[in-house]
């Protein structure tokens, strides 16, 4: 069984061939510089053809699984792509203007190249469709029509299930930290999302590589900047780039070790914001069975995990320094009453599994 998993961006198409039963990635690759000056890849249709050519003639797929960023409140799970679904994704473009258009381009290119293979849309927002109204409602005029959607849902779906398996309790109360260039937190109870830090867009919440995370909207109002300037500043010139002059956590750690006080403060701000959310979400969950780290920083940076955990001992979280340094799966000490786990995410496998399950049900 093979699923062709596609993550179509504005200037690149990442792809993988995944066996959802064994969990193996059989092939993967990326086609870049789509539509850029001087590029040999003028559009997504060409990119998809190049991707398929890299796989020789072995195109026997049970489904093509597409990552789609924004499903709004219309899509609570993966769906087969129909003309109606395609139209709905297009109508949701105002909620994700940078992501849904290239996601659609990928769907159309795949359908043209593989017309007899079912196309499946797997939404980043779907895992958070279980958020209760108290968690997704903003205290703003109702006519604005805005609410929290949350993102990184495919990652959380995979990691929460894997963490539940490791704990022997699929209903465990856990806070999952997806820490990468984009970063977010999610509170999970009974295998469902009940709180998450990203909002209507991926800008809210934790400090990220280039995104601000939480910021006082009143402070922004007084700057006199236009919408385009604000978008550029908050999404591309904020976060660790603004605090430390560099978006990469490892580079900031190196600078801090060399005496850069600005980088040292940036790392503490980054960890402080995470602790804020862990504590808040533990309160919402009524206790904590596990804290789970995932994604690039979460999986690989032992120093940041230790920094985040300082001061969280009151939640029963106690780190084993040796296990943490070894990037073990369980990094909690024997006397820790809540587990601390490092669970590598696998969004491609999650998309493949959801796609294959949907096709088989249908």
* Active site residues per annotation: 124
Question: CA-CA distances (angstroms) from residue 323 to 68, 242, 315, 319?
Answer: 36, 33, 20, 8
Extract the tokens encoding 253.
């750690």
Neighbours of 50 (CB within 10 A): 16
Strand partners, 294: 178
DSSP assignment of 89-158 equals: HHHTGGGSTTTHHHHHHHHHHHHHH-TTSPEEEEETTGGGGG--HHHHB-SS-GGG--B---S-HHHHHH
CA distance 235 to 233: 6
User: Residue 254, SS3?
Assistant: helix
Q: Can you tell me the distance from the alpha carbon of 270 to that of 268, in angstroms, rounded to the nearest whole number?
A: 5
b/e map 319-355, b = 16+ CB within 10 Å: bbeebbeeeeebbbeeebebbbbbbbbbbbbbbbbbb
- Nearest CA to 16 out of 51, 60, 62 is that of 51
Q: Which residue is associated with the tokens 């940036």? A: 266
Cα separation, 290 vs 105, whole angstroms: 39
Element housing 162 (H / E): helix 153-167
Cβ-contact 189, 219 below 8 angstroms: no
* Side-chain half-sphere CA neighbours of 342 within 13 A: 22
């Amino acid at each position: 069984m093979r699923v062709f998993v596609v993550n179509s961006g504005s200037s690149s198409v990442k792809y993988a061939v995944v066996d959802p039963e064994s969990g193996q990635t059989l092939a993967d690759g990326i086609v870049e510089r789509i539509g850029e000056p001087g590029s040999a890849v003028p559009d997504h249709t060409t990119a998809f053809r190049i991707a398929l050519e890299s796989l020789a003639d072995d195109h026997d797929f049970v489904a093509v699984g597409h990552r789609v960023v924004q499903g709004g409140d219309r899509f609570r799970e993966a769906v087969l792509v129909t003309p109606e679904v395609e139209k709905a994704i297009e109508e949701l473009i105002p909620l994700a203007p940078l992501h849904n258009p290239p996601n659609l381009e990928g769907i159309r290119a795949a359908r043209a190249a593989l017309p007899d293979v079912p196309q499946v849309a797997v939404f980043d927002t779907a895992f958070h469709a279980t958020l209760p109204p108290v968690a997704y409602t903003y205290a703003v005029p109702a006519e604005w029509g805005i609410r929290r959607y949350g993102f990184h849902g495919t990652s959380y779906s995979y990691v929460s299930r894997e963490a539940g398996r490791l704990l022997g309790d699929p209903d465990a109360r856990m806070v999952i930290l997806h820490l990468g260039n984009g970063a977010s937190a999610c509170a999970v109870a009974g295998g469902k999302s009940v709180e998450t830090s990203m909002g209507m867009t991926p800008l809210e919440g934790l400090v990220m590589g280039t995104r601000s995370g939480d910021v006082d909207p009143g402070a922004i109002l007084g700057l006199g900047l236009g919408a385009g300037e604000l978008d550029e500043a908050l999404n591309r010139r904020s976060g660790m780039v603004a605090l430390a002059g560099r978006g990469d956590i490892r580079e900031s750690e190196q600078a801090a070790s060399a005496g850069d006080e600005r980088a040292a403060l940036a790392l503490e701000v980054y960890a402080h914001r995470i602790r804020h959310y862990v504590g808040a979400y533990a309160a919402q969950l009524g206790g904590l069975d596990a804290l789970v780290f995932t994604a690039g920083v979460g999986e690989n940076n032992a120093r940041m995990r230790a920094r985040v955990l300082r001061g969280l001992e009151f939640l029963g979280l106690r780190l084993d320094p040796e296990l943490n340094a070894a990037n073990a799966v369980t990094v909690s000490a024997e006397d820790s009453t809540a587990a601390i786990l490092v669970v590598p995410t696998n969004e491609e496998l999650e998309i493949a599994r959801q796609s294959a399950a949907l096709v088989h049900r249908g």
